[in-house]
Structure 1
Amino acid sequence: MRRAIYTGIEAFGSILEGNPKKNVIALPILQEVSDLPCDTGSELKDLQIEIEQKDLPVDLRFVEENWSEKSGKYEPTSEKIRDRAREARCWLKERPESEIVVVSHGGFLHFLTDDWEDGHKFEGIRQSHHL
């Protein structure tokens, strides 16, 4: 999530700057698909400290305490990832904004958009999960 947050801030900082109505919304269901260390998020308390210390325009209210444990709905299985992608599409559709930018991770974006052109379904996902 930290990579996505900082990418969003870097790419859209000029839009966010000085506008309290525009924030990066951290949404755990958009997290990467594998349970590899590089795809596992930071603990909520660590994110809260970093966001506060750096005074970043980030809304963490949707981040649950154990979101980074890769269990439950965050399990790195095809079924759970597809469920998260469906949930994310519904969440986005229900938003009141007319324009939304999603900054996520390559593997998950394939599931979110169902676009597999030039994508590698199993890249970064451990084969033992039988996707």
Structure 2
Amino acid sequence: MRLFWMIAGGLSLAVGVAGIVLPLVPTTPLLLLAAYCFARSSPRLEAWLLDHPRLGPPIHHWRAEGAISSRAKTLAMVAIGAAFALSVFLQLPVKLLVIQGVTLGAVIVFILTRPTPRLSTHHTSDAKP
């Protein structure tokens, strides 16, 4: 089972990192999944991920406060808007646009109702948040 969690963590991390540059690929949820998987397979990989200067802070913010940074919220709104605009531009059927609009609307509500992190410093994996 340990191998399963390690592979799942590695795949989640790879796709999450790709999401940094690819629009519509959700980075933070995949990083959270990678940390979850690594916690079950490799404490060393989990510690590396949590201590990473770029990838670790969103995980710490979510774990400590259920928070999403203002920058991440802004980028998510831009990606959601771009996805919906592309669907309109491609003239998808109205039924699909309605389904997409309702789904994306729910995602927007979820994102915007999460707090903004109060944590101002990076926590190492052995620190208590």
TM-score of the pair, normalised by structure 2:
0.30
TM-score of the pair, normalised by structure 1:
0.30
Give the structure with the larger helix fraction. Answer: 2
Considering only CA atoms, is the larger Rg found in Structure 1 or Structure 2? Answer: 2
Which of 1 and 2 has higher RCO (CA within 8 Å, sep 6+)? Answer: 1
